[in-house]
Chains A and B, each alone.
Chain A
Amino acid sequence: MAQSSPAVSGSPKPARQRRVQKGEPFVWLSGGAIMTGIVLIVLVVGLIVYEGSRTFWPRDLEVIALGESRFLLQTSDGRQAFLDAEDRLLLPQGEGYTYADGRRYALTLPPRKAGIADFRRAPGTFGGLKWQLTGAGGVLKNPDGAPVTPEQYLQDAKAFASPYRVVDESGGFTPAEMLLGDDRFRDHVMLLGAVRAERPLDLRDLPRKADGTPWQAYEIDAEPTELLVRQGNKGEGLQPDSMYFRWVKTNVPDVEGYRRGNPGGYEAYVLGRTLARHVCEIERLEKGVLVGYVVEVKEGEKTLASIDKDGLERVWEVFLEQQQAMHAEYLRRVEIEKDDIGDVNHEIKQLELQVARIRHDFRKSGEMVTAIEKLQEAYTAWSRLEPPSRPDTKPEEYARACGKWRDQLLAALEAWDKEVASYKLDEGPRAVLAEARKAQEQRADLQSGAYSRLRLEVTRLREHEKSVTYTLRALNGQTAVLPVAQVVRAILPNELGFFGKLGVYLDRFWEFLWENPRESNTEGGIFPVIVGTLLMTLLMSLAVVPFGVIAALYLREYARQGPLVSAVRIAVNNLAGVPSIVFGIFGLGFFCVIMGGTMDSLFYPERLPSPTFGGGGLMWASLTLALMTVPVVIVATEEALIAVPSSQREASLAAGASRFQTVWRVILPQAMPGILTGMILAMARGAGEVAPLMLVGVVKSAETLPVDGNFPFIHLERKFMHLGFHIYDVGFQSPDIDNTKPLVFTTTLVLILVIAALNIVAIRMRNRLRKRLSSSHV
């Protein structure tokens, strides 16, 4: 730059040079850089929005026939039949396999098991031996007990129709091969499930063409892909039980070649797929979704509706009615458990702590300690006498039993009174002991009163929830009887139109935002996670802004500018570059262990050794992040302070204001937008941080929210959940990644939205301030 500034010469310069002087290439360069940045951001956000927003869209349920044979061939002496790459028969012999002519099979590639489909294709291959068919139910037998031969099976399509049944036009069940339109599909294994993902297959990974050259893209019509099918039906003995998700291949160009070249892979090759009528997808509280048909709904022994008598539609209607009623009941029960019992528990805990506190206060007096311990022992012994309750216990009876139980404590306490009377104790300690005794009595009141009553109620409700059941029939005809109350949502995805699907989608999204997680975070919602993130971020902002602003004010307005201040400034800026995990370690060491430990021993000694503030928690996590983000606020605030014109300072000082008054009344208000910018940056950085939080209070799942109705409403010592950590946990710590991957995107989307929402609020605040400050020349 310095060279170009000297005196402008009058002679015209060549165009290129002039352009360089104007800096146009630099404009292009910086424009390009910005464009690249924008494109990358749009790509990332676009991916997250696209993937994250389609997770909950209901997918159609398809019947998919695979290459896998339903029956395998074996000889009458139980030897399995195999085929080599040229489709020649092999039989196991010792360690290896031999051909019919006695030659040994010499390749290392294991041969493929021969199934009924192979037999149908080339019966000649299997000539000369007697074959039996084995499948999921063992050897296939005739009614007379003799094994079915392959020839017999192929001849009688009716008797040996596949067990995979779908609902046909008339509302009855028919074999699924009818729906697929080819009788031969009965040889094959079929799935019922939703295609959750699709990814292209690399042509180079396919077996080569007959002439040994690889397939070319122009030689094939449809792109070969792999589909991820969610079959559901886990844990109810419904086959196949193990494969909740299954990858299957489709559109492979030369199926025959593929079959030979891909011994195992062919089995997961899709031969045919079609939509099925009236199949339902049932989301449960536990163990994921079920797919199949609801064939019966029962209350106790009474059948409310069954498919034979009332038809498909009616059963479904009754099922939905019952589901709504019973699920509402389930929700009520959970509410009692969480809120009512939770509150009583809280009170009981407080009373228990009160006694513990007294023991701690008098820990130097042997008599007192013994007395309190005896009291506690008496209580423990008493609580073991709790009258048993069963679901059919009558509430009044149980209340009476509990009343008697309560009286037993009085007897125990009287014994205790007598014992304590003999202790040498002053008036004061005795009064305290009386207090402790009273606390124990109150505790027993709660335990035998409200607590017992609520627990009995819950037991009864639980029992009632089990009373209404439905029978689910899987594609293969197997059935399971399950409680209706466990059903969160049931839909007929193939029957839904666009708006029907949209409704389900919004409903699922709503649930995702407002419900607790289930099944170790792989199902349900993320409400506590959002709450934890919001609270932590807000507390962090509350902590970081004053801290950063005061530091910046000192550096800019009070400290004499010099090498020392510059050094401090550089140090602060470099603090922003320290890896966040280091802050986490510092937070753990300084906040949790030192400060939290000190607080515990000062304020909560009776709870030790279980930590209160001595472990990670909301407060320490917020402070750790505040520490981490404070450089951002300091830098932004300093910039904002510099931007306040010195004429403003002079005007204020000349009017007789002190430095503090100047800062408070003139400079801070004008620097506020800049300070808020700093806060926004700090928030964005803090809300997305994970590593340090893992050390100072974020957990995989917290049983209680950090806010609730019990004093002091915000529980700073509690552990909490956080979106960033949740993403990590769901994405990388979950055993079932196929199930949770979409949730990772959705959770990320929510995280982005939460940060965006926080930012928008802050930006609006800032803009309002700006407007108030700005000169609006009219």
Chain B
Amino acid sequence: MANMTAPDTLADGVKADSRGAVRVTTQDTGKLEKPEALETIVRIENFNLFYGKHHALKNINLDIPKNRVTALIGPSGCGKSTLLRSINRMNDLIDGISYQGSIYLGGNDIYAPDQDVIALRKHCGMVFQKTNPFPKSIFENVIYPNRISGERNRRKLAEIVERCLKRTALWDEVSHRLHDNATALSGGQQQRLCIARGIANEPDVLLMDEPCSALDPIATAKIEELILDLRENYTVVIVTHNMQQAARVADYTAFMYLGEIVEFGATSEMFLKPRLKQTEDYITGRFG
């Protein structure tokens, strides 16, 4: 890892929105601090997840603030993706998982027995590490979530496509070939298309699992710009290995280690003066 502290960008990324810590859980105390002023959209309470016998998430408590970008960082295998996927219950697809605790999305317990998983996922957009556009036209890719919800009105669909592609800064590049196959796009374009697909349904949260790890710096910069932009309307949870990226885009950062949230707080605070040695070591690249 290169130098973690990038003061300029950090200042830029944080200044505008850093309104203080929301709620902080620390490993040793488990003490919670009351969030300030900000509405919580996803509340994770005492959440545990097991892959068979493997305890992958250990007693996670986390409040994700609305209309902010929250980053999950931590060494590989610490459970970031697992936590992210717990929020839209994508882990359900894996055989042999079990969990305890609850996660609330907008006050609604998504692990309640009567929870409609499909309805839940419609409220969460998701963007994956590996770009995965469907081998359909660009148009069809964007409106896929709307199509499966039964939207038929072509005018409406066209509006959605335009809006989402504009939001993801892809409109100018692809507006003249909306009916070409999406797989013909470049990697960065494909990822932005996936983001457009992720927001086509107006989700409450947008979950992004290392969205830039396969992209070059320019494409990465575009996506980061996009994330900052999306913050106005969406709540973004992003998993990243790139500290600078976390510093640049995230308002809040959670540091995970071995299935636990070690530290959570405003990005500026965490990066400038982490409370725990462990966090500092990780951020500065001394371990992990």
Contacts and interface: CB of A to CB of B under 8 A. Distances in A.
Interface of A: 560-561, 645, 647-658, 661, 665-666, 669-670, 772-778
A562 to B, nearest CB: 9
A658 B119 CA distance: 10
Interface string B86-111: 00101001010000000000000000
Given A647-B132, A775-B135, A654 B90 contact: yes
B132 A655 contact: no
Given A654-B128, A655-B144, A655-B198, 20 more contacts: A645-B132, A650-B90, A650-B132, A651-B133, A651-B197, A653-B121, A654-B88, A655-B145, A655-B201, A656-B148, A657-B144, A657-B148, A658-B118, A661-B148, A665-B148, A669-B135, A670-B135, A773-B183, A775-B184, A776-B181
Contacts of A774: 135, 183
Contacts of A773: 135, 181, 183
Which secondary structure dominates where chain A touches chain B?
A: helix
Interface string B117-143: 011011011101010111110000000
B118 A654 contact: no
Interface string B171-197: 000000000010110000000001001
Contacts of B183: 773-776
Contact of A656 (B95, B122, B128, B133): B122
Nearest to B140: A665
B216 to A, nearest CB: 16
Contacts, number: 82
B130 A647 contact: yes
B118 A665 contact: no
A650 B148 contact: no
Contacts of A645: 132
Contacts of A772: 135, 181
A650 B128 contact: yes
A561 B94 CA distance: 12
Given A657-B118, A658-B118, A774-B135, A652 B144 contact: yes
Contacts of B95: 560-561
B84 to A, nearest CB: 11
B147 interface: yes
Given A647-B128, A647-B132, A665-B147, A656 B90 contact: no
A650 B201 CA distance: 16
5 closest residue pairs by CB, A with B: A775-B183, A656-B122, A654-B126, A647-B132, A656-B121
A670 B149 CA distance: 21
Interface residues of B, number: 30
A656 B135 contact: no
B118 A656 contact: yes
A666 B198 CA distance: 16
B149 A656 contact: yes
Interface string B38-74: 0000000000000000000000000000000000000
22 contacts: A647-B132, A650-B93, A651-B133, A652-B134, A653-B90, A654-B124, A654-B126, A654-B128, A655-B122, A655-B198, A656-B119, A656-B121, A657-B148, A665-B144, A669-B135, A669-B136, A670-B135, A772-B135, A773-B183, A774-B135, A777-B184, A778-B184
Nearest to B93: A653
A141 B134 CA distance: 98
Contacts of B144: 652, 655, 657, 665
A776 B137 CA distance: 12
A772 B198 CA distance: 24
A776 B185 CA distance: 9
A665 B141 CA distance: 11
A644 to B, nearest CB: 10
B141 to A, nearest CB: 9
A528 B194 CA distance: 55
B134 A648 contact: yes
A647 B93 CA distance: 12
B200 to A, nearest CB: 8
A671 B219 CA distance: 31
B184 to A, nearest CB: 5
Contacts of B147: 665
Contacts of A778: 184
Given A650-B90, A654-B126, A655-B144, A776 B184 contact: yes
